[in-house]
Structure 1
Amino acid sequence: MTQDTPLSPPLPVPDGAGARRPAVRRRPPDLGLLTACQTLYQIAVSVDLTLTAIVGMRLAPTMALATLPLTLITVIGAVAAAAAGVLIPRFGYRAVMLAGSGAAVIGGCASAAAVHSRSFPLLCVGTSLVGLHKASGAYYRYLAADRAVPARRGRALATVLAGGVVAALAGPFLATESSMWFSTEFIGSYLVVSLASALVLPLIALLSATPGEPANSPARLRPPPAPLRPALGTVPFRRGLAALGYGGTVMTLLMATGPMGSQQAGHTVAQGAMVIQWHMVGMFAPSWFTGRLSTRFGPRAVALAGALVLVAGTAVGAAGTAMPLLMAALGLVGVGWNLLYVAGSGFVVQCYPQGRGSRIQSAVEGATACVSAAASLSAGYLFTRIGWSGANLAMLALSAFACLHFLRRTRA
């Protein structure tokens, strides 16, 4: 955690004199601001996650491309996450986060225009810009960990993620309620993306600067990012990458195919949104306690628990497309993802000195985003070939392999 360096030591107080506390400069409640940013960021992204596969089905020239706009959120996010490793040391976290949120404001408007004009390419442009926001928003949790004392870094990570609980309830609801604000369906939904992203901007501006940002310190005094190469061979790095990769793959593929499976089964758009809502509750509600579990039992045990929950969720999903099965399956997959995400993030922050992790963070975020992008891109093809149940069986096999991975003891 960045601390302010006192200008001078406190003066001695004579015996009997009234002691005065040295003036302490108050800092903004950064953890609360970052949690609010996470909430609004997840609301914006959840609207896209709820509707873009369905909108893609209506606008795409072929069914196999239906999930391409959704995939571009992850693909562009992967590229931007890698670029952030170069940009954050130079410009600071706040500037990168402001740029990502601003891009999503434009992206939401572009997606709304795409729906109005029935332009599939423009929809792809809009979701690509939202992908920049997805990349920058992934750093909220890391910034919170950097500003926490070492013993509470895992809890700070989980606290920020808990902001997604509000988004889980509000995002899909807003996606469906706003879909009919205008004569053309879904224009209002994408304008909600722009509005939520715009509200993030003043919150980021209120964050206190850190010594890693130009506003506080000249470049020669800023601590350099920890090098990536030494971290690559460490057990925490490999386990963190594995946890984030397994969870991201299963969650992304099934969340992309879930709305399509719901619609193909004859459920309404509102029912499909409810499925995503329960999925997002599963993704973020456990954050209230996963940080404590990680502190008490260690990230490896939490990652193993997450993989086991994914096995349960995919097994339920393979059973069919009835509404109770869809809700239970995606809810469990969300819980499993949360456990793996918090555990993986906990592994990653062990790989670098506090406040110097931008290069390692960007490598991990870029790699896991690429894996998730591949899962999202293949979702439409898999759905047309093997359906919802078949996709769950494939992810069941991967989840079982993840269990074996975290059961195996690895030498440091």
Structure 2
Amino acid sequence: MTVLTPDALPALQRRTVAILSLGQVLGGIAFGSTVSLGALLAADLSGDDALSGLATASVTLGAAAFAIPLARFAARRGRRLSLTAGNLLALIGVFVVITSAALRVFPLLLVGIVMIGMGNAGNLQSRFAATDLAAPKHRGRDLSIVVWSTTIGGVTGPLLLTPGEALGQAVGMPPLTGSYLFALVAQFAALMLYLVALRPDPLLTALKMAATPSRAAALGASVDRPVSARYAIFAVSGSHAVMASVMAMTPIHLSHMAHGHGGAGEMSEEVTLLVGVTIALHVAGMYGLSPVFGILADRWGRVRVVLLGQAVLAASLGTAIIAGEHAAGVMIALILLGLGWSAATVAGAALLTESSTVEMRPRRQGISDSLMSLTAAVGAAGAGVVLTNFGYGGLSAVALVIVVAISVMSPWGRIRESVPA
């Protein structure tokens, strides 16, 4: 492997960020389709709305189970092969989901969604790959650019529901699976992109540079701050749990509203469109302003932007409690939910990276992604029960407790934290 000088680092970093961003555009299409359709497919195949949350739970459970092994694999073989492996699993998962819908086998659906979640662990890893060679003063910005690029695919995925259904019917696909045709093409393209273009590998290059003190300084990799790292992991996983649990139940809640709270019933085109538009707006909130939050994290400090995210999450949950029985109120709440998640996730990931040496980063990043997905899986699984018994407002009130905890514990993140110059 050729060892780069610090002067050559910016050009390689720009190229790496561009490749990761394009990969996130492609991967976002598959993820957006899964988020929008998973709960509806689960409710349809199981015949029980209370089990609909298992779809999002399965996505996050798959990501949780695979995050640490994938991080260890990345530490040994690099980001290129780990991201390729993630996309391959997701591609297989999409085939399994389509098969489960054709056979109407609910457990097989969950297996496919788990595999898509395992692939999503690779998509999550992309944001950390953007920081491997980043200069400390631009770490939040570079990370947020990769996060932002998911907007294109993530918004497109839900909006492809209606045309996807028409295409699926034309080729004889099972109901609610048509848009997965687009996901198959996008997932394969992302796999080939990482395999062919992500050279030299950013993590392997960073590890080699870190072995030389002068080169390690260019990466800001000489100081380890475990207390700040622990808070970053808690803030990111908690914010993700809030987002995932509320988002997972929104399609079911909107379906209930459209049918007078009498159950999901037959999925009409109007309900599918309402769900698709609402989730698309939510995903736009998740990713659309992430570069703004990345720049703010670089200039204001990581913990301040994490707290900004908690304030926006609180506003979202408050809107859901007050106006959650109106479609417009749900849309506003979901947009704010995405914005709050974005601020907390971008700033928290930057804080975790800068609190760790290069050698420690893959391990802690894997732990962070695993806990983030695991807490979200638990939240999404329980969200269906909470929604059934306490309604959408009750679910939002429960999620608000986590927001308060992250805010109260923020002084732990400030320990040893230095605001980037």
Q: TM-score, normalised by structure 2?
A: 0.85
Distance verdict in 2 for CA 1:166–1:150, change over 3 Å: same
State the Cα distance separating 1:211 from its structure 2 match: 7.3
Q: Is structure 2 residue 337 aligned with structure 1 residue 346? A: no
Distance verdict in 2 for CA 1:149–1:354, change over 3 Å: farther
User: In structure 1, how many angstroms separate the alpha carbons of the residues matched to 2:283 and 2:193?
Assistant: 23
Determine if contact 1:290/1:342 at 8 Å carries over to the other structure.
yes
State the match for 1:78 in structure 2: 64
State the Cα distance separating 1:212 from its structure 2 match: 5.1
Q: Is structure 2 residue 178 aligned with structure 1 residue 188? A: yes
State the match for 1:160 in structure 2: 146
State the match for 1:150 in structure 2: 136
Distance verdict in 2 for CA 1:324–1:407, change over 3 Å: farther
State the match for 1:379 in structure 2: 383
Q: Is structure 2 residue 42 aligned with structure 1 residue 38? A: no
State the Cα distance separating 1:3 from its structure 2 match: 5.3
User: In structure 2, how many angstroms separate the alpha carbons of the residues matched to 1:187 and 1:212?
Assistant: 37
Q: Is structure 2 residue 368 aligned with structure 1 residue 364? A: yes
Q: TM-score, normalised by structure 1?
A: 0.86
Q: 2:115 aligns with which of 129, 135, 142?
A: 129
Determine if contact 1:304/1:407 at 8 Å carries over to the other structure.
no
Query: Which stretch of structure 1 is more off in the superposition, 185-194 or 398-407?
Result: 398-407
Distance verdict in 2 for CA 1:351–1:191, change over 3 Å: same
After TM superposition, list the pairs within 5 Å mapping 1:6-25 onto structure 2: none
Query: Identity of paired residues, percent?
Result: 26
State the match for 1:330 in structure 2: 334
State the Cα distance separating 1:83 from its structure 2 match: 1.0
State the Cα distance separating 1:147 from its structure 2 match: 2.1
Determine if contact 2:286/2:338 at 8 Å carries over to the other structure.
yes
Question: Is the partner of 1:163 in helix, strand or coil?
Answer: helix
State the Cα distance separating 1:265 from its structure 2 match: 0.3
User: In structure 2, how many angstroms separate the alpha carbons of the residues matched to 1:166 and 1:355?
Assistant: 33
Determine if contact 2:101/2:109 at 8 Å carries over to the other structure.
yes
Deviations 1:249-306 (A, max 9, x none): 1100011011110000016111011111111111001112111100111011101110
Give 1 or 2 for the bigger CA radius of gyration: 1
After TM superposition, list the pairs within 5 Å mapping 1:102-141 onto structure 2: 102-141=88-127
User: In structure 1, how many angstroms separate the alpha carbons of the residues matched to 2:17 and 2:193?
Assistant: 11
State the match for 1:13 in structure 2: none
Determine if contact 2:61/2:373 at 8 Å carries over to the other structure.
yes
Deviations 1:108-128 (A, max 9, x none): 111112112211122112111
Distance verdict in 2 for CA 1:28–1:295, change over 3 Å: closer
Q: 2:318 aligns with which of 296, 315, 326?
A: 315
State the match for 2:249 in structure 1: 257
Query: Which stretch of structure 1 is more off in the superposition, 81-90 or 32-41?
Result: 81-90
Counterpart code for 2:357? P
Q: Is structure 2 residue 203 aligned with structure 1 residue 203? A: no
- Structure 1 segments (4+ residues) deviating >6 Å: 25-28
Determine if contact 1:146/1:355 at 8 Å carries over to the other structure.
no
State the match for 1:178 in structure 2: 164
Determine if contact 1:314/1:329 at 8 Å carries over to the other structure.
yes
User: In structure 1, how many angstroms separate the alpha carbons of the residues matched to 2:357 and 2:199?
Assistant: 20
Q: Which structure has the highest helix share of the two?
A: 2
After TM superposition, list the pairs within 5 Å mapping 1:227-242 onto structure 2: 234-242=226-234
Question: Is the partner of 1:43 in helix, strand or coil?
Answer: helix
- Between the two proteins, the alignment pairs up a number of residues equal to 384
What residue ranges of structure 2 are gaps of 5+ in the alignment?
Answer: 216-222, 259-269, 417-421
Counterpart code for 1:269? T
State the Cα distance separating 1:197 from its structure 2 match: 0.9
Deviations 1:144-188 (A, max 9, x none): 111222221111101101102212431111133202322332222
Distance verdict in 2 for CA 1:212–1:288, change over 3 Å: closer
Q: 1:405 aligns with which of 406, 409, 414?
A: 409
What residue ranges of structure 1 are gaps of 5+ in the alignment?
Answer: 7-21, 224-229
Counterpart code for 1:134? N
Counterpart code for 2:297? S
State the Cα distance separating 1:239 from its structure 2 match: 2.1
Query: Which stretch of structure 1 is more off in the superposition, 85-94 or 302-311?
Result: 85-94
Question: Is the partner of 1:147 in helix, strand or coil?
Answer: coil
Determine if contact 1:181/1:187 at 8 Å carries over to the other structure.
no
Q: 2:301 aligns with which of 298, 301, 325?
A: 298
Question: Is the partner of 1:209 in helix, strand or coil?
Answer: coil
